[in-house]
């Protein structure tokens, strides 16, 4: 394989490979103000199925607690964001803006006892993919 081809391959691999995760949900990746905004968004768009206490109803799963954290363990915040963005609310997917979704996601993180910080969650999936979703604190 020529050097040029090797270089090209490396470039392609770096473009298609998983984005390196530089932060985790345990690093204070949302702000309290954002979670507060997300609280009302959750009540208006999510709680009728997932329950006001996030415990789930019927077929709608709980969105707080270790089972929920386990379901997304090893993925990224971007993966969860896109799952919500493309399919929720179930009866009207695509009806919420990215800003509204980021706020609701911040509320979910807070409801799961994850620490807040100074910055807000980004509204872009690509940036959220850099935040690792791990069920347990990697730096306890």
Residues found near another protein in the complex (CB under 8 A): 43-45, 47-49, 51-55, 57-59, 62, 65-67, 69-75, 79-80, 82-83, 86-87, 89-93, 95, 135-136
CB of 91 to another protein, least distance (A): 4
Question: Whose Cβ is closer to another protein: residue 14's or residue 53's?
Answer: 53
Count the Cβ atoms, other than its own, within 10 Å of residue 125.
17
The nearer residue to another protein, 11 or 137, going by C-beta atoms, is 137
Does an H or E element contain 127, and which?
helix 125-128
Paired tokens of 113: 């006892």
CA distance linking residue 102 with residue 118, whole number of Å: 15
Q: How, if at all, do strands 131-133 and 75-76 pair?
A: antiparallel
Say if CB 23 and CB 118 are below 8 A apart: no
Minimum CB distance to another protein, residue 7 (Å): 29
């Amino acid at each position: 394989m020529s050097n040029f081809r090797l270089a090209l391959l490396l470039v392609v691999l770096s473009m298609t490979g998983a984005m390196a995760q530089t932060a985790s949900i345990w690093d204070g990746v949302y702000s309290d103000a954002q979670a507060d905004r997300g609280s009302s968004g959750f009540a208006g768009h999510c709680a009728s199925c997932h329950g006001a206490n996030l415990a789930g109803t019927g077929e709608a799963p709980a969105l707080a607690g270790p089972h929920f954290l386990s379901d997304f363990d090893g993925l990224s915040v971007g993966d969860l964001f896109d799952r919500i963005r493309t399919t929720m609310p179930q009866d009207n997917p695509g009806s919420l803006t990215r800003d509204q979704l980021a706020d609701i996601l911040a509320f979910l993180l807070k409801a799961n006892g994850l620490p807040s910080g100074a910055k807000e969650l980004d509204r872009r999936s690509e940036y959220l993919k850099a935040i690792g979703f791990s069920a347990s604190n990697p730096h306890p």
